[in-house]
Amino acid sequence: MSNHVNESKTISLFIPCLVDQILPEIGFAMADVLRKLHYDVTYDARQTCCGQPAFNAGHRTEAMSVAKQFLATFSNADCIVSPSGSCSAMVRNYYPVLFAGDEKMMAQVHSVQERTFEFSEFISAENKVERIVGHADVSLSIHNSCHSMRELGIDEQIADILARIEGVKLFVPQVEHTCCGFGGLFSYKMPDIASAMAKSRLEAFTGADLDVLIVNDPGCIQHLRAEAPSAGFKGEILHLVEFLQKAMD
Amino acid sequence: MNTYAKFMREAKSMAGNEIHRAKIKKAITSYEIQVDGMKKQQFQDWNAAREVAAGIKNEVLANLPEMLQEFEEKLTSRGATVLWAENAEQARHYIEEIISRHNARKVVKSKSMTTEEIELNEYLESRGIENWESDLGELIVQLADEKPYHIVTPAMHKSKQEIARLFVEKLGIEYTENAEELTMAARAHLRRAFVTADIGITGANFIIAEEGAIVMTENEGNGRLGMACPKVHIAIAGIEKMLPRLADLSLFLPLLTTSGTGQQLTGYNSIVRGPKSAAEPDGPEEMIVILLDNGRSNIYAQDHFREVLRCIRCGACLNACPVFRSVGGHTYATTYQGPVGSIITPQLRGMAAWQHLAHACSLCGACTEVCPVGIDLHPLLLETRWQADKEHAASKKWQFAIKMWSKIIPSRKVIDTFRPLMKIFLPLAKPFLSANQKKRIPTMAKKSFAQMWENNESTR
Amino acid sequence: MNPRDSILKKLSSINSLQKTPAARTQDRQIYQDYPEETKDELIARFKKQFLALAGEFFPVSSYEKAGAHIFELLKSVDSTKHLVELNPLCQKIFSACPELEAKFENIENKTLAATDFADYATGLTGADFLVARTGSIVLRTNSAGGRRLSVLPPLHIVVATVAQLVPSLDAALQNRGFREGDWSYGTIITGPSRTSDIEKILVLGAHGPKRLALILLDE
Ligand code: SF4
């Protein structure tokens, strides 16, 4: 990690397909927050998806054609930042698996890989956490996505960022982290298991009477919002950047 | 009903079973507290322990044929017999031959997943051989006419009330919910079987090349009794159970036990080097070790999957798995449940019938995080899905959907053309879906991010 | 082809394997670090572990005291029949307490079927090693009078000396003497028999001895 703050960095938004089609507000919130932190932000509409849905379902041939499109779009980007730990992990950890053995593609993978970040990780690595100022009188807790936590090793970063917002009361659940049950196509193929997992996960938060549950992956958000009513979770489920966007106003 | 349909039906019923969920949550919470405490108490660097263990197991895999021969040579030099079984049928055949040679009527068995794998219980029963499961957990599932729920804790799903009712019915005891009284009832029930059995059958947690020994780890002493009383001892071990040297146990025993039950060491870790020797007062006159392949060599032949043979069957990945916790062990309908079972079962028993297990996973990675021998479990589940796709064993419906998707998704233009159609189509699909499917059909945004961005930026 | 050759042939047909030996535990800092421990520290560590496992621990400084403890232990059980593997240490204890010798039958002088053990309350054996870090007792058939004596009777009494104490399991297994000798069976005993198969509730005395007692002699 360098302490050198490069104000001139331009950020290419990496907008996951789910955000593009279903939750665009998350994309705008991230762009807003990054601009508030004085970054230049660009967006290239040729990007559509990183290929993860096909890859995770085992259809690597199809994933490959989508991933190639992704690599081409971002070949000249300065910094690639996404509001999804899962999609960032796809590029960083699984493109090398997808393109293993293809030397030409691997060169592209390595170059894009190095410049790809999840939002909270990026802000922390850039030492910009201190620059976050805001206010919100809420009680909240964090659901760090599995891929953000286990594939990218994001841990304290989210809490550190939230600690910058005055008025936040952070609730830390007793139980260890478990998956919310999203898992991409998994939750469509095995909906009953996915629902039971969401229920188990939300149980950790229901007793605490939270205003907000902060989540850092759009997939988890969509899934948890669908499951919250039947699991009896009453708080709002927001992406970290959505929360910051409001709190930093 | 095919294996997939059966899995889906069971999964649905278990996922909605709140009583089951509460029981498993209780058991696994107490397990997790024990394991965390023991890891800290014992290990300064758990990750280093895992790395060394993985390295030793890789050494085993690299030298497996040589080590198996060394094991055979050393063990037979002390008078034991080593038999090699390519599949379950051969293994059962060997056992049948031993039983009839000794004219045996009564067998006492200690907990062994390998015997489950070759369906030994069913086989012995069909031959009219008295077959006593002697591990308490195994006894409970045997009396309940069930299969083990979990590779390490076979009766994890049973409450003490259920066990009490079972013992009242099958062992004729007075109703009691006291775990100690129930255990003593099992002790009394089995004691006579131990001292009168003709043959003791055990598994092996490890087999040692350098020493020509098998190693059995247990808490109850039933394994020890099964190897001390009957005149014949048969041990069945998968060929991957190998360790190079005896001293490697000083890492693998604590590793297995800490991950398996959160103990430092189990009550008894027995090292068996042969039948009774001339100078010894007791012990089996005959010892036979059956080395079981049963598909393992097929896994071994695949560079991508070989590492799963490092597995020491500690059960940690089952406990960590949120899918296992939701659907329970029986839903898998396999000998080995949970993440590791979902990887090896398609390899051992056929991709087409079992690949759905690899899809019953959200790829959360909790299994990979806990595995004491560092197996990349969730990447191997992904690898299994890819293999199913390559072998055209994957679901046709999804295969087609993804094909279509991959035609549309790389092009912004095509997406924008299809968007309005999707917005109409998605709500129309709802009446055909179950409640749990319906609620996660998303509402498409009015416009895509790309469309909105273009509008915004042009007015900025 | 017979099954053996066919399995070995399949396994041997893979060439992509690296046959280099792996690192061992000694090469890495894995376990909690214990500085070189004095004899007393080792005893203390063993005691702590052994007691935590519900073992009954009797440190003694003379054969007479050892005998007295064994005597007390015998009083605590129902039956009056007891078996011993008469190793040199037991012999010395018996010579110091002649009335004790009469209580025991020497397993070497008997031919017992497995069913005959039902009458005996106690098995008295020696040990090969005591492992301080885990509170374990390591036995082999030659020190334990075979396989049955240490597992069938409900009370297992072990006599050992401080010289048999080693810091870790590794030290016991790496000991040159351990692998030698004509023994067919050895076991690392860590506490009395137990189970947690019913709702994870710990119960002692599942199938093996319900009680495990150690007389540790420091001469
Ligand atoms: S795969 Fe790993 S965690 Fe799972 S049972 Fe095997 S050794 Fe244990």
How sure is the predictor about C135, in pLDDT bands with cuts at 50, 70 and 90? very high
Q: Which domain holds residue C151?
A: 37-217
Which of the four pLDDT bands, split at 50, 70 and 90, describes residue C2? very high
* Phi, psi (degrees; rounded to nearest 5) at A180: -80, -15
Q: Establish if B199 belongs to a structural domain.
A: yes
Q: Is the CB of B292 under 6 A from ligand 1?
A: no
Which pLDDT tens digit goes with each residue over B1-39?
Answer: 799 999 999 999 999 999 999 999 999 999 999 999 999
Q: How confident is the model at residue B393 (pLDDT cuts 50, 70, 90)?
A: confident
Give me chain B's average pLDDT, please.
94
Domain holding B333: CATH number?
A: 1.10.1060
A95: confidence class by pLDDT, cuts 50, 70, 90: very high
Residues of chain B above pLDDT 90, percent: 85
The pLDDT of residue A5 is above 50? no
Same domain, B163 and B262: yes
Domains detected in chain A: 11-124 (no CATH), 131-247 (3.40.50)
Claim to verify: residue B406 and residue B434 sit in the same structural domain: yes
Task: Tell me if chain A has a CB within 8 Å of the CB of B405.
Answer: yes
C2 assigned to some structural domain: no
In this structure, the answer to whether residues B229 and B357 fall within a common structural domain is no
A-chain residue closest to B394, CA distance: A58
Which among A190, A194, A244, A225 is positioned nearest to A26, based on CA atoms?
Answer: A244
B177 within domain boundaries: yes
Residue C24 lies in a domain: no
Residue B433, helix vs strand vs coil: coil
What pLDDT score was predicted for residue B17?
95
pLDDT at A6 exceeding the cut of 60? no
| CATH code for the domain of C172 | 3.40.50.10420
Instruction: Say if residue A59's pLDDT is above 90.
Output: yes
Reply yes or no on whether the pLDDT at C211 is more than 80: yes
Q: Is there an atom of ligand 1 within 6 Å of B75 CB?
A: no
Strand partners, B140: none
Amino acid C28: pLDDT: 79
B247-306 pLDDT, tens digit each: 999 999 999 999 999 999 999 999 999 999 998 999 999 999 999 999 999 999 999 999
**Chain A touched by B460 (CB under 8 Å):** no
Does position B192 have pLDDT exceeding 90, yes or no?
Answer: no
* Cβ contacts of C49 within 8 Å, gap of 6 or more: B264, C132, C133, C134, C135
Residues listed for chain C: 219
Task: With an 8 Å CB cutoff and a minimum of 3 pairs, decide whether chains B and A touch.
Answer: yes
Residues 6+ apart with CB under 8 A from B123: B92, B95, B96
- The percent of residues in chain C predicted with pLDDT above 70, rounded, is 100
Q: Do B402 and A196 touch (CB under 8 A)?
A: no
Are B336 and B409 in the same domain?
Answer: no
Would you place residue C78 in the very low, low, confident or very high pLDDT band (cuts 50, 70, 90)?
A: confident
Mean pLDDT of C57-82: 95
Q: How many domains does chain C have?
A: 1
Contact C206 B187 (CB under 8 A): yes
What's the pLDDT at A179?
96
Place of tokens 């007692």: C213
Q: Could you tell me if B55 and B176 lie in one domain?
A: yes
Are B389 and B404 found together in one domain? no
Q: In one letter, which amino acid is C57?
A: F
Per-residue model confidence (pLDDT) at position B23 = 93
User: Would you say the CB of residue B374 lies under 6 angstroms from ligand 1?
Assistant: no
Sort B342 into a burial class: Cβ within 10 Å, 0-12 / 13-18 / 19+.
buried
Residue of chain C nearest B286, judged by CA positions: C184
Say whether both B122 and B221 belong to one domain: yes
The answer to whether residue B215 is domain-embedded is: yes
Domain for residue B34, yes or no?
A: no
Residues from chain A contacting residue B332 (CB–CB below 8 Å): none
Residues of C in Cβ contact (< 8 Å) with B196: 114-115
What is the average pLDDT across B48-56?
95
Task: Classify residue B266 by its DSSP letter.
Answer: -
Is residue C15, in this structure, part of any structural domain at all? no
- Are B311 and B368 in a shared domain? yes
Which pTM was predicted?
0.95
B312 CB near ligand 1 (under 6 Å): yes
* Cα B291 to middle of ligand 1, angstroms: 21
**Among candidates A182, A167, A157, A188, which has minimal Cα distance to A237?**
A182
Ligand 1 centroid, distance to B340 Cα (angstroms): 6
pLDDT band at C61 (very low <50, low <70, confident <90, very high): very high
Atom 3 of ligand 1, residue of closest alpha carbon: B371
Of B205, B157, B186, nearest to C205 (Cα)?
B186
Q: Is there a contact between C198 and B229 if contact means CB atoms under 8 Å apart?
A: no
Q: List, for residues C112-130, the tens digit of each pLDDT value.
A: 999 999 899 999 999 999 9
Contact list in B for residue C186 (CB cut-off 8 A) is 270-271, 273
Is C32 contained in some domain? Answer: no
- pLDDT confidence tier of residue A1, bands split at 50, 70 and 90: very low
Measure CB to CB from residue A195 to each of B15, B384, B447 and give the nearest one: B15
Express each pLDDT in A142-191 by its tens digit. Answer: 999 999 999 999 999 999 999 999 999 999 998 889 999 999 999 999 99
CATH number of the domain bearing residue B180: 3.40.50.10420
**What is the distance in angstroms between the Cα of B196 and the nearest Cα belonging to chain C?**
7
The residue assigned the tokens 């108490």 is B41
Ordered alpha helix ranges (H), C82-149? 88-96, 98-101, 141-144
**Cβ count within 10 A of residue B426:** 13
Question: What's the structural domain count of chain B?
Answer: 3
Question: Residue A2 — pLDDT band, cuts 50, 70, 90?
Answer: very low
For the segment B391-401, the average pLDDT, to the nearest whole number, is 86
Q: Residue B4 falls within a domain, yes or no?
A: yes
pLDDT category of residue A7 using cuts at 50, 70 and 90: low
> DSSP letters along B41-69, please?
HHBS-HHHHHHHHHHHHHHHHHTHHHHHH
Q: Is B182 in the pocket of ligand 1 (CB under 6 A)?
A: no
Query: Are residues B286 and B318 located together in one domain of the fold?
Result: no
* Domain closes at, from B348, B377, B394: B394
In a domain, B38, yes or no: no
User: Which of B436, B444, B452, B457 is the mutation pick for testing A, counting most A CBs within 10 A?
Assistant: B436
B410 in the same domain as B318: no
Size of interface A-B (CB pairs under 8 A): 187
pLDDT of residue B460: 65
- Touching C (3+ Cβ pairs <8 A), the chains are B
Are A49 and B368 a contacting pair at CB < 8 A? no
For residue B427, name the pLDDT band (cuts at 50, 70, 90).
confident
Give the helix/strand (H/E) hosting B186: helix B179-196
Is there a domain that residue C20 lies in?
no
* Residue C114 covered by a domain: yes
Closest in A22, A61, A181 to B362, CB measured: A181
Question: Residue B71: pLDDT above 60?
Answer: yes
Same-domain pairing of B189 and B249: yes
Q: Is C178 a residue whose pLDDT tops 60?
A: yes
pLDDT of A3 > 80? The answer is: no
Comparing alpha-carbon positions, the chain B residue that sits nearest to A16 is B449
Which ligand 1 atom is nearest residue B320's CA?
3
Is residue B339 located within the same domain as residue B441? Answer: no
In a domain, B343, yes or no: yes
Residue A233 Rama label (left phi>0; alpha psi -120 to 50; beta): beta
Residue B55 lies in a domain: yes
pLDDT at B259: 97
Domain limits for position B324: 1-26+306-394
What distance in Å separates residue B153's CA from the closest CA in chain A?
Answer: 21
- Confidence bin at A4 (pLDDT 50/70/90): very low
Which of B255, B336, B373 to probe ligand 1 with, by most ligand atoms within 8 A of CB?
B373
Pocket flag, ligand 1, residue B85 (CB < 6 Å)? no
Please tell me the predicted confidence (pLDDT) of residue C9: 96
Residue C14 counted as domain residue: no
| Mean pLDDT across B135-159 | 94
